[in-house]
């Protein structure tokens, strides 16, 4: 994580995410006096826009998606492996890359939520804010962040498989939009592999929508394991 915090790409991606949320904020819906909990509703609408959906495969891979390509091409990897074991490197790298895709959206979302609370909450009518409103906004942000982590791992997989910057940055973008195009143009019922549905969770995901969390958790674990397997094979070739 110390290496990740030093990555300029992490902060650049977080800034891009925050600006996108700000641009998509529904300022035209701010009508005084605001009802109780309006800042949460407006915050969630800022997250639920097409710009965020299209930004995910870009911002997620920006921080550390291509780290393996950089480390293996410069010779840094051989020096680094002499200090730690292969399995330790794989564990660190897979977690670091997942966090690199998760954190930009999460940090930007928390900052945006804080600003919404700071500037809009004092303008609301007095009243209780339901836990359902709070949880709805937070789980929406969490789903975005988890998808970012998955996309980052996909970039890591392509980095290990092709050892090429263009493939690392380009293929996650292409794969992501292929799923969107297939769903919207050809397979109307294929909502399970539709990124917009992962965010909004409007279809049948089981009782109380718990299925979406199981899906994202299993998908995340699968991507991490596949990434680790490819890294293990590459390390055997390099070292």
Q: What is the pLDDT of residue 131?
A: 87
How far is it, in rounded angstroms, from Cα 102 to Cα 95? 10
Supply the range of the domain harboring residue 75. 2-238
How far is it, in rounded angstroms, from Cα 35 to Cα 134? 15
What's the pLDDT tens digit per position in 19-37?
999 999 999 888 888 888 8
Provide the 10 A C-beta neighbour count for residue 123: 12
Total number of domains constituting the chain: 1
Could you tell me if 55 and 108 are in contact, meaning their C-beta atoms sit under 8 angstroms apart?
Answer: no
Q: Is the model more confident about 74 or about 101?
A: 101
How far is it, in rounded angstroms, from Cα 227 to Cα 156? 6
Could you tell me if 108 and 70 are in contact, meaning their C-beta atoms sit under 8 angstroms apart?
Answer: no
DSSP tag of 209: G
The model's confidence at residue 239, banded by pLDDT at 50, 70 and 90, is low
Q: What is the pLDDT of residue 86?
A: 86
């Amino acid at each position: 994580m110390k290496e990740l915090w030093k990555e300029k790409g992490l902060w650049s991606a977080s800034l891009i995410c925050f600006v996108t949320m700000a641009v998509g904020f529904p300022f035209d819906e701010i009508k005084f006096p605001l009802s109780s909990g309006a800042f949460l509703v407006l915050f969630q609408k800022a997250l639920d826009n097409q710009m965020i959906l299209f930004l995910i495969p870009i911002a997620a891979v920006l921080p550390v998606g291509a780290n393996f390509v950089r480390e293996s091409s410069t010779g840094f990897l051989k020096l680094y492996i002499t200090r730690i074991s292969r399995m330790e490197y794989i564990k660190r790298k897979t977690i670091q890359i997942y966090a690199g895709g998760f954190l930009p959206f999460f940090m930007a979302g928390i900052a945006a939520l804080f600003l919404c609370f700071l500037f809009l909450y004092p303008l609301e009518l007095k009243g209780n804010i339901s836990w359902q409103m709070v949880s709805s906004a937070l789980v929406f942000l969490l789903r975005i962040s988890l998808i970012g982590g998955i996309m980052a791992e996909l970039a890591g997989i392509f980095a290990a498989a092709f050892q090429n910057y263009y493939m690392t940055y380009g293929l996650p973008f292409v794969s992501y939009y292929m799923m969107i195009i297939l769903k919207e143009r050809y397979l109307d019922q294929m909502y399970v592999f539709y990124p917009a549905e992962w965010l909004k969770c409007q279809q049948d995901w089981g009782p109380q929508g718990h299925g979406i969390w199981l899906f994202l958790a299993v998908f995340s674990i699968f991507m991490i394991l596949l990434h680790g397997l490819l890294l293990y094979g590459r390390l055997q070739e390099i070292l």
